Structure 1
């Protein structure tokens, strides 16, 4: 019987329980799970800002998760191009993509090459964006306090 290979892509920046949930659920639906950790340059292109954690460290973190069989740097702009270099049977994504133009394009592109797209519930209470905002807020408060204390 053919092994079912899955692929879960993400920034995996400021790794949190939502990332863990995605990888855990993905691994339950395949025999071998590849995690694609999106390169810094692609994140800047897509989100307009660099990740907090550099690619090499994000790869090391994701590679050490027990649900992940292989972690690769996702350096190609197209998921189908990534599939061509690392073939897989099913692509896993958070359901915040379901029904969006990006999600629909992903489904069409993968349907053309016989790859299923499976969505998992997005972890609403935790996100890297929320963590980043909190860090920025804490940093600005710290900067403001240190500036006040250093005034003559």
Structure 2
């Protein structure tokens, strides 16, 4: 085990909730220094099919302020190896909803080639950003986007 084990916990971290906090808490317990990768707005929209409710600059500030997080950086999904080349982390943390999926298997293979261990944590079933977003959408329907709006 390296003397200074660096961990990386990527996520959208939209509508920050207890599941996010649990992932960051568990991740920090498994490394000496934790970097949270906060997925950029456009990339989050591409991955999830809709933009985050909370803009990237605010999500970064929220995640950066969590005591378990030593640093927070903006990330573009699908570019995990680029992030590794920038940050040189030893462990990558994901929710166990990724385990055994095609994306999870590909991630494990990619990280394995770089010598990075992928560690899974239990997914918080009772609270998720998707559920929170559904409640918000039911209360206040999303505004139509106009040209040039991001």
**Structure 1 and Structure 2 fold alike (TM over 0.5):** yes
Aligned equivalent of 1:91: 92
Give RMSD over aligned pairs.
1.0
Greater helix share, 1 or 2? 1
Provide the residue aligned with 2:17 in structure 1.
Answer: 16
Residue in 2 that maps onto 1:54: 55
Task: Give the C-alpha shift of residue 61 in structure 1.
Answer: 0.1
The C-alpha deviation readout for 1:92-113, integer Å capped at 9, x for no partner, is 0000000000000000000001
Q: CA deviation at 1:87?
A: 1.1
Using the TM superposition, give the Cα deviation of residue 75 of structure 1 relative to its aligned residue in structure 2, in angstroms: 3.1
1:42 and 1:77 in contact (8 A); partners too:
no
Return the alpha-carbon distance in structure 2 between the equivalents of residues 108 and 6 of structure 1: 18
Post-superposition CA distance 1:16-46 (Å, at most 9, x none): 0000000000000000000000000111111
CA distance in 2, matches of 1:48, 1:31: 35
Moved runs in structure 1, 4+ residues, more than 6 A?
none
What is the alpha-carbon distance in structure 1 between the residues aligned to residue 9 and residue 16 of structure 2? 14
**SS of 1:71 mapped into structure 2:** strand
- Please name the residue that 1:129 is paired with: 130
Counterparts of 1:4 and 1:86, CA distance in 2: 12
Q: Does 1:102 align with 2:126?
A: no
| TM, length-normalised to structure 2 | 0.91
Q: Which residue of the partner structure matches residue 30 of structure 1? A: 31
Q: Which structure 1 segments of 5+ residues have no match? A: 141-152
Distance in 2 between the 1:52 and 1:67 partners? 23
The residue number in structure 2 matching 1:42 is: 43
C-alpha separation in 1, matches of 2:23 and 2:77: 21
Aligned partners of 2:22, 2:30: CA distance in 1, in Å?
13
- Distance apart, 1:77 and its partner CA: 3.4
